Structure 1
Amino acid sequence: MMIHRRIRVSAIVVIATALAVAVVTGCGHHESTPLVPSTSSSAPAAPPLRVDDRDPDAVLVAAAAQIYSWQPAQDPSAAAGFTRARALLDPTYIESVGATAAGLSQVTGATWDRWAAQHATVTATAHIGHDDHPADTATAHQRVVVITQHITLPNPAASEPDRVVVAYMIASRLGSTDRWRISMIAPKEGQP
């Protein structure tokens, strides 16, 4: 009886350890997007996504376009754009957003399902708005970014108008480097 109990306890410990290792290592799944360099890194990686990451405006525009571009028939949710843009995002911001990244999209589940059924492609372009913004600092660059999403359907007769999303965004300097990453995205409330 005591031997069976020790075996059972040992089995539970082994299973718990295996689960913990799987969670920490991501169950062996590795994203194809390069990991974002740590803010403590003294030698940042090369500019991601062919973006000059020494230019905070370029980082803001490129990240917004990537985050708001989707293929709903293949992407599980709008969070896929956020995942694809992670090389342009501050690691701390990635952690804080976590599973809520799809909430940045302002797309209803019904719209997403319709686009998926229609095999729509949503391609975003972005530009810096002309709104007033706080003064730039050595470590933060805040802007209003205007994102236009063009919805392309296989059947051109079923076209949809472009969507416009306005977002308040911050690019922050990555540690003591001259590289910038997105540290905040806040879509303006009350948009379509």
Structure 2
Amino acid sequence: MIVSRHVLPSVLLAATTALVGCTAQDRPPVTPSCEAEPFPPPHAQIPPCSGVDVLQGSVGTLYRLDPSAGIDPRSAFDTARPLMSPAFVVHAGPGASMWSPITVSEWQAWVDARIAVASTVEVTADDHPPDTATSTARVLAVHLTPAGGSPVDFAVYARAIRSGAESRWLLTDLKVLS
């Protein structure tokens, strides 16, 4: 096919107009694909493809303590296992009961009185290392409020990793900061 030199500029102008008309504003943002399986109940509501949501959900589960319901640090840890890496479970398991500033005598008083404890965990705006496709870390504020008592507030640093888009984010590190 022979294209005359009078037709070629028209074709190029049409192609340029089509490309300019489709700007970055017209295209939806690209989100990384995630093919991770959902977490099992009771964690099915935690998005496995969001590192920050996994951090908040796992730390929230670890601190969902309630002496009136028999939920102590060990049972909270066991409930959170699906949200943690296997290596973290092995490494951190023995010390899980020491992850809060609640003393043994204070906890025992709550147990004896069957005091209900409300807990919340919030992601803070503190500085954190830059997120990557396989690693994320945040400082989270933990608030434990025993019924009729003074709140216990402290912060934790938590990190989650995943091996790729087909993997869930999992908690791999936790340190109490205050």
Question: 1:173 — aligned with what?
Answer: 162
Q: Contact 1:90–1:174 at 8 Å: present in 2 too? A: no
Sequence identity (%): 24
Q: Contact 2:68–2:111 at 8 Å: present in 1 too? A: yes
* Contiguous gaps of at least 5 residues in structure 2: 1-34
Q: Distance in 2 between matches of 1:73 and 1:86?
A: 22
Q: How far does residue 183 in structure 1 lie from its aligned partner after superposition?
A: 0.5
Q: Contact 2:122–2:141 at 8 Å: present in 1 too? A: yes
Q: Distance in 2 between matches of 1:51 and 1:137?
A: 20
The alignment covers a number of residue pairs equal to 141
Q: Which runs of 4+ in 1 moved over 6 A?
A: none
Q: Distance in 2 between matches of 1:108 and 1:63?
A: 22
TM-score by length of 1: 0.67
Question: 1:138 — aligned with what?
Answer: 133
- The 5 A counterparts of 1:1-192 are 45-48=37-40, 49=43, 50-73=45-68, 75=70, 77-152=72-147, 159-174=148-163, 177-188=166-177, 191=178
What code does the residue aligned with 2:175 have?
A
Q: Contact 1:86–1:94 at 8 Å: present in 2 too? A: yes
| 1:85 match: secondary structure | helix
Q: Contact 1:126–1:147 at 8 Å: present in 2 too? A: yes
Say which one has the larger Rg.
2
Question: 2:4 — aligned with what?
Answer: none
The CA RMSD over aligned residues, in Å, is 2.0
Q: Distance in 2 between matches of 1:160 and 1:151?
A: 5
* Contiguous gaps of at least 5 residues in structure 1: 1-42, 153-158
